[in-house]
Amino acid sequence: MLPQTSTRRNSRLKMIAGVSVTALLGLGAVLLPNGAERGALAATPSVLLPQLPPFPLPFPFPPLPVKQSSTVTPIKHVIYVIAENRSFDNIYATYRPKNGQQIWNLLSRGIVNADGTPGRNFARGQQFQATSSNGVFALSPLTKAPYAAMPTPTLNSAQALGIGLELDAELAPDHVVFVNPNGTPGPLFPNGDPDLPLKDQITLTTGGFAQAPSPITSTKASGPDIRIPGVMTNTLPAGPFQQTSAELPYDAYAGDTIHQLFQMWQMSDCSMHNATFENPTGCVHDLYPFVAVTNGTAPGSAPGDGGQDMAFFNMQTGDAPIFKALADQYAISDNFHQAIMGGSVTGHFGIAYGDNPFFANSNGTPGTPTGGITNPNPQVGTLNTYVSNGTWVMCNDPTQPGVAPIQSYLASLPYRVGPNCAANSYYPIRDANPGFAVTGALEPANSGTMPPITVRHIGDELNANNISWAFYSGGYNSAVAVANGATDIVDAVLSTGYCAICNPFQYSLSTMSDPNQRAAHLKDIVGDLYPAIANNTLPAVSFVKMDGALQGHPGSGKVSLLEEFRPGHCRPHPGQSGTVCRNRDHRHLRRKRWPVRQRVHSAARLLGDGPRIPLLVISPFSTGGRVSHTYTDQVSVLKFIERNWRLGRISNRSRDNLPNPIQIEELNPWVPLNMPAIGDLFDMFNFGPEFGPF
């Protein structure tokens, strides 16, 4: 369990949802989606898995006894594996599905070629910059012009060294080694990062920008990322570009990007003036670099973000081989979205609450933050430098900065949709800290902390129906130990891998105020998940959030480490193997790479939907390498759980109340006729004739 970011940059705790990677995965006979941005898995005792690709996959599928209540399908266990900040096109931009199936990505649309160069339709991915402003937040600019060259991609918090070696440097004054350069663990850490198989610890030591063939000698992770071809000569085309090269291999750390609600809306450039039959919501997604370089850049300052939003991995040249093999073997969605726009916190709220909870008083009524109110209007004399990148917005009030343009756009859509924001309520639009410590103690109130959440989450609905569930986190046990006074170096180091803002249940009053609920449902990956897999004692529903090194978050993480996360490496099962997938938000597997030209952006309310993120469903019932086009988002996983276990809805306003999409394959397989609508993932499985065709 390596640090959430690095011990040198503990303040950089942001990670999107997602997604975010999203994965559903199977045991014996189970289900698993990717995403994120994120992932899940289900199992039954008697179904054999098909033979998997000839490389080691991460999740063994032992037969599990059926101990849970009856289900609608053969799936008795779901494991939802949640990664960070990778978009669909960041990972699957050039993926070619099996059997001549359709897929909507950069390669299929001719935006890029198989070798990563600009394609015949590259203009569809052309990025623009606004050229005028009327002094208020612009959802779609009054005037804009194409960039001649891509704004310079930046290092923006990328690791100088592999995160294991950077940790060694932090521990050096005490002569403590976490992992050696050859990948062998130090004496105090015999398992290295225990979330990761021993043979893969070497991946913790590689990929830093100071380790490139032509090392970047910057003393801080900022400035141009000159590993990217065309950056030094300012000739990088202003559209999607292949991230990998000889200087920037697939195993490398690359720059982080911005992901907050108003930035995400603005990047999408939505206007009904742009609407077409193929794109009925009119979002053209052509302002990603512009918003990245302007929203937080003070006059006269160099932007920290750059054009890295538009980078993609190229499966046709060998990138992301495990994610490619999983898509070839199981089911993938090319129309799965982040449910709530924003950072890691809002993404994970969608996964647990099916909604974005508001800032509340102790009695559950709407409260008012002491500060941190956002104002995305441009500062005087600037084109798009926000007055403040705050945490909260009262999105039901059109007089609040930035709200009216989005409400006006929603009202212009050809289907009925409103903001779905409660009156006089402030909602988080970026990462806010939980109101509880990991021990259950209340945290002091401040403008950056979310008070205890009193609205229901999926765990409450599972509890009400006596269905077992757990949220497994990397570093959780060590974080609890340190909070309770532990001072040993092992817990001190491993606890930094725990991501409190990625655990949506740590915000919940019903979970955190009850020691029995915390003990039953908040658990550790190494200390609890692995033994549960080994002992066949998994709960019916499991959420899995890896430690900070393995989530794939740009800057502090890399996709090669994300692919190496193998929840079952605690106990090998001869003849059996399994697999993991994930997301990112947000953006992505949940990103930090935006969906360059996503198929359709179905606005369901002011707070979301967001960009496409990867979703893989891994199960004996989802084999064959099928691509699903059904419109779904992260709350679709909750809809699957609710349908499979015959549960009710979480609340009367949560997104699981949306209907399943009505889509006509011959007309437009990606766009629901009854928007807003999200699927329940059942179409990604082949359970038998009673559930319809696969």
The pLDDT of 267-277, averaged and rounded, is 93
Above pLDDT 90, what percent of the chain? Answer: 73
pLDDT digits (tens, 9 = 90+) for 629-640: 999 999 999 999
9 contacts 557 by C-beta, under 8 angstroms: no
Q: What is the DSSP letter of 612?
A: B
pLDDT at 692: 59
Question: 3-class SS at 572?
Answer: coil
Residue 272 clears pLDDT 80, i.e. is over it = yes
Above pLDDT 70, what percent of the chain? Answer: 84
User: Between β-strands 128-130 and 78-82, what pairing exists: parallel, antiparallel or unpaired?
Assistant: unpaired
Among candidate residues 443, 413, 447, 409, the one with its CA nearest the CA of residue 431 = 447
* Residue 541, token pair as written in the block: 């529903």
201 contacts 179 by C-beta, under 8 angstroms: yes
Among candidate residues 209, 278, 286, 279, the one with its CA nearest the CA of residue 240 = 286
* Residue carrying structure tokens 């430690």: 547
Tell me: cis bond preceding 656? Omega within 30 of 0 counts: no
pLDDT digits (tens, 9 = 90+) for 118-142: 999 999 999 999 999 999 999 999 8
* Residue 53, token pair as written in the block: 């690709």
Residue 568 clears pLDDT 80, i.e. is over it = no
603 contacts 281 by C-beta, under 8 angstroms: yes
- Structurally, how many domains does the chain consist of? 1
The pLDDT of 368-390, averaged and rounded, is 96
Alpha-carbon Rg for the chain in angstroms? 23
The Cα-based distances of 341 to 259, 305, 414 in angstroms read 8, 19, 22
User: Between β-strands 22-27 and 632-633, what pairing exists: parallel, antiparallel or unpaired?
Assistant: unpaired
Give the domain extent around 174.
1-694
Average pLDDT over all residues of the chain: 85
- Higher-pLDDT residue of 226 and 566 is 226
pLDDT at 490: 95
293 contacts 629 by C-beta, under 8 angstroms: no
pLDDT digits (tens, 9 = 90+) for 12-60: 222 222 222 223 432 222 222 222 222 222 222 222 222 333 333 334 4
The rounded distance, in Å, linking the Cα atoms of 323 and 582 is: 9
The Cα-based distances of 435 to 352, 470, 479 in angstroms read 16, 20, 16
The 10 Å Cβ neighbour count of residue 362 is: 13
The rounded distance, in Å, linking the Cα atoms of 28 and 85 is: 30
pLDDT digits (tens, 9 = 90+) for 509-518: 999 999 999 9
Cα angle: 548, vertex 551, 557; to 5 degrees = 75
- Higher-pLDDT residue of 63 and 192 is 192
Tell me: cis bond preceding 676? Omega within 30 of 0 counts: yes
479 contacts 438 by C-beta, under 8 angstroms: yes
Comparing 70-74, 115-119, 122-126, 572-576, the range with the smallest average pLDDT is 572-576
Q: Per-residue DSSP letters for 128-184?
A: EEE----SS--SS-SSEEE-SSPPPPB-TT--SS-HHHHHHHHHGGGT--SB-TTSP
Q: Which of the four pLDDT bands, split at 50, 70 and 90, describes residue 377?
A: very high
Residue 579 clears pLDDT 80, i.e. is over it = no
pLDDT digits (tens, 9 = 90+) for 402-457: 999 999 999 999 988 888 999 999 999 999 999 999 999 999 999 999 999 999 99
* Residue 111, token pair as written in the block: 């935006």
Among candidate residues 449, 409, 418, the one with its CA nearest the CA of residue 433 = 449
The rounded distance, in Å, linking the Cα atoms of 88 and 107 is: 12
Amino acid at site 435:
G
The rounded distance, in Å, linking the Cα atoms of 124 and 104 is: 13
Q: Which of the four pLDDT bands, split at 50, 70 and 90, describes residue 606?
A: confident
Residue 475 clears pLDDT 50, i.e. is over it = yes
The pLDDT of 535-560, averaged and rounded, is 92
pLDDT at 173: 87
The rounded distance, in Å, linking the Cα atoms of 30 and 157 is: 38
Q: Which of the four pLDDT bands, split at 50, 70 and 90, describes residue 219?
A: confident
The rounded distance, in Å, linking the Cα atoms of 456 and 651 is: 7
Cα angle: 62, vertex 67, 69; to 5 degrees = 130
* Residue carrying structure tokens 């973000």: 305
pLDDT at 221: 86
* Residue 437, token pair as written in the block: 């410590």
| Burial status of residue 456 (CB atoms within 10 A of its CB: 0-12, 13-18, 19 or more) | buried
Element (H, E) at 541: strand 541-545
Sign of CA dihedral 90, 96, 97, 102: positive
- Three-state SS string over 465-506 comes to CCCCEEEEECCHHHHHHHHCCCCCHHHHHHHHHCCHHHCHHH
The rounded distance, in Å, linking the Cα atoms of 241 and 615 is: 22
The pLDDT of 303-311, averaged and rounded, is 94
The rounded distance, in Å, linking the Cα atoms of 106 and 111 is: 5
pLDDT digits (tens, 9 = 90+) for 381-410: 999 999 999 999 999 999 999 999 999 999
The rounded distance, in Å, linking the Cα atoms of 79 and 294 is: 39
* Residue 380, token pair as written in the block: 């005087």
